[in-house]
């Protein structure tokens, strides 16, 4: 049985990862999944959350706002709306965007405005959670 698979992770600002990996943790609409070599074929949507890529002792952690993933037994392709490392995220800007989303949600007048504000809020909360985990991890 293979110990790695080919992984290609692409975001609008470029290719974030194009190598082999031994596993990838993905936040899907149906819950978090971990993909290992030989995974059953699957196409699914990503939700805001964190992507964790492992290849042996190397780990890469990225925040995402969502996207699409295609999994075959030998390859994983991720088309992410965003894929950002903790160091590139600005906590102050994210907190302000969260407040804006909360305000928009409170002022929403119809289902479309509620859905838009809820999606924006979900993205900001996922980024703040990602940053909080990284701060705790590297503080110890």
- Interval 45-95: pLDDT, tens: 999 999 999 998 999 999 999 999 999 989 999 999 999 998 899 999 999
Query: Pairing mode, if any, of strands 75-80 and 23-28?
Result: unpaired
Distance, in Å, from the CA atom of 39 to the CA atom of 20, rounded to the nearest integer, reads: 15
Token output for 77: 């392709």
User: Residues 14, 17, 19, 23: is their CA dihedral positive or negative?
Assistant: negative
3-state helix, strand, coil split of the chain in percent (to 5) is: 35, 40, 25
CATH match for 89-139 among 3.40.630, 1.10.10, 2.60.40, 1.20.5: 1.20.5
Q: Is the pLDDT of residue 42 over 60?
A: yes
- Interval 109-135: pLDDT, tens: 999 999 999 999 999 999 999 999 887
CATH 3.90.1150.10 fits 5-80, yes or no: no
User: Do the beta carbons of residue 55 and residue 19 sit within 8 Å?
Assistant: yes
Structural domain boundaries of the chain? 5-80, 89-139
């Amino acid at each position: 049985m293979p110990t790695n698979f080919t992984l290609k992770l692409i975001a609008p600002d470029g290719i974030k990862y194009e190598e082999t990996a031994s596993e990838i943790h993905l936040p899907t609409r149906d819950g978090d999944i971990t993909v290992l070599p030989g995974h059953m074929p699957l196409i699914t949507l990503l939700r805001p959350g964190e992507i964790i890529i492992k290849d042996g002792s190397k780990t890469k952690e990225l925040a995402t706002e969502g996207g699409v993933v295609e999994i075959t037994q030998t390859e994983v392709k991720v088309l992410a709306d965003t894929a950002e490392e903790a160091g590139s995220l600005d906590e102050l800007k994210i907190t302000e965007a969260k407040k804006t989303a909360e305000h928009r949600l409170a002022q929403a007048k119809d289902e479309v405005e509620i859905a838009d504000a809820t999606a924006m809020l979900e993205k900001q909360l996922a980024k703040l959670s990602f940053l909080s985990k990284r701060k705790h991890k590297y503080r110890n």
